[in-house]
Amino acid sequence: MKRYGRIRALREDADLTQEKVGKAIGLPQRTYAYYESGQRMIPPWVLCALADFYQVSVDYILERTDRKQWPEG
């Protein structure tokens, strides 16, 4: 299964624990850890919540782009 390295990198760059991120988006720490390690696929609502939390695009989280934000305009 795919690992989601970007969510780990974003979390570590923000100096946050898995527990704090999980709590912020309404997940138990263990569930968030499964997503981060790739043991479970991230459902769309969690992807959106993470993108909103970190203020990045879902495509950035999924490594479809290296641009964190969509251009405004």
Q: Is the pTM of this model over 0.75?
A: yes
Q: Is residue 54 within 8 Å of residue 62, measured between CB atoms? A: no
With a cut of 90, say whether residue 3 has pLDDT above it: no
User: Quick count: other Cβ atoms within 10 Å of Cβ 49?
Assistant: 17
| pLDDT, average across residues 55-70 | 89
Tell which CATH architecture fits domain 5-61.
Answer: Orthogonal Bundle (1.10)
